[in-house]
Amino acid sequence: MARNGILLAILAAALLLRLQLAAAAPYMHDESQIAIPLAESLSFTPGQLNLPLRGLHHPALPSYVINLSGSVFGRTALGYRALSVIGGLLAIILIFRLTDAWYGRPAALWASALLAFNEYHIGVSAYATAKGPHLLLIATAIYAFSTFLRTDRVRSLYISAVAVALAFYCKEHSVLVLAAFGLTLLQPRYRHWLRSTHVLGACALFAILIVPDVMWNLRASVADPNATYRDHLSRVGGLGLTPDPFLFFARGAIQWVMVAITGEPLPDSVVEYPSMNAGFGVLLLGAVVASTLRAGRQDRIRGFLLILFWLVLAVFVLIRPGQPTKGMDPVTWYWADVVLFPAVILTGARLAHITGRWRLALWSAAAAAAVYATASIVRLS
């Protein structure tokens, strides 16, 4: 019962922080110039239908969510953002349930707290952009796939495919999560599933669901104002090395280091989005590295979480910024935000099971990072 009380306290604090930011923060560019105007343009009236498949830069699913949020909760800043707030809480619950199933209740409480008080997740859960729906769908996909790994229930495999397909209608780079699923199934303990028709069926289901968007891209002309796959590929200048994705873990600290070394900060085209503080960033990265180097037989979920984390991070670290068309930004640090989910799960497991002299130090560091994050969000609002 006490642990249920802790979870409820975490969820209540998470809700209050997100509501405060959603109610007080001014619209950011992605809201006022992209997501909300598209949401307001939608029309379900017979004879006056306006149901676009794509928005300016990405598929339009998030604007349908924002339209629904405004219709239910009012066409105000808080009303348009309300479903993002609810989605953020649902993502915390999914991560709690996943971690509880694999690592136990203490680890689940840590993982949910690391997500609940994370500045980045608070921010994207409080704004009416594509980020809120996208991360909720990715959390759903990760939860469903982990359930498949734990129970061998093929229904969960199909659910994960549907969730990734819907996430694709928010952000196209969601296919990286599907790639992580595939690499996980290449491990010896799961390889027998590759001979199953269910894996092929799940892939086929994903492909069928994204056919409308693929067909739109094939038919779109170069002059079309909405970005196509070709336009998005122009954001990639080839292979190279960029430190930009690490801004996700500690933007302030890394910018300070870059200024000290080069005299100039890294370009940041999404400064409106809060990144996590250095305390959280070092804690999460350190826990993932420790889990990667940990000797002995891996548990069944750790291999998947590490594949997902390192695959997504490596892809964006190895992208050299290109010359994007249609006013889009090149490499942006928040492209790698999917790694937040495996990071908090692995960190939660390590914090729950750590013993000895490191226990007090790491628990204190996590608590201090959460307090700092809370203060930062209060200042933003």
CB-based burial of residue 39 (10 Å sphere; 0-12 exposed, 13-18 middle, 19+ buried)? buried
Q: How far apart are CA 231 and CA 250, in angstroms?
A: 29
With beta carbons less than 8 A apart as the criterion, state whether 177 and 141 touch: yes
As a whole number of angstroms, the distance between CA 13 and CA 19 comes to 10
Q: Where are the alpha helices (DSSP H) in 263-356?
A: 278-293, 300-317, 340-353
The Cα 76–Cα 69 span in angstroms is 10
Query: How many Cα atoms within 13 Å fall on the side-chain side of residue 100?
Result: 12
Could you give the CA distance from residue 333 to residue 270 in angstroms, rounded to a whole number? 8
Amino acid at 227: A
CA atoms within 13 A on the CB side of 225: 3
Neighbours of 281 (CB within 10 A): 24
Question: Residue 89 is encoded by which pair of tokens?
Answer: 């809480």
Residue type, 344: V
pLDDT in tens, the chain (381 residues): 556 889 999 999 999 999 999 999 999 999 999 999 999 999 999 988 999 999 999 999 999 999 999 999 999 999 999 999 999 999 999 999 999 999 999 999 999 999 999 999 999 999 999 999 999 999 999 999 999 999 999 999 999 999 999 999 999 999 999 999 999 999 989 999 998 999 999 999 999 999 999 999 999 888 888 999 999 888 888 888 888 899 999 898 889 888 888 888 888 888 889 889 999 999 999 999 999 998 656 678 999 999 999 999 999 999 888 888 887 888 788 999 999 999 999 999 999 999 888 899 999 999 999 999 999 988 887
Rounded to 5 degrees, φ, ψ at 320 are -85, 130
The DSSP 8-state label assigned to residue 103 in this structure reads: H
Tell me the one-letter amino acid at 29.
Answer: H
DSSP annotation string for 162-226: HHHHHHHTT-GGGHHHHHHHHHHHTSTTTGGGGGSHHHHHHHHHHHHHHHHHHHHHHH--TT-SS
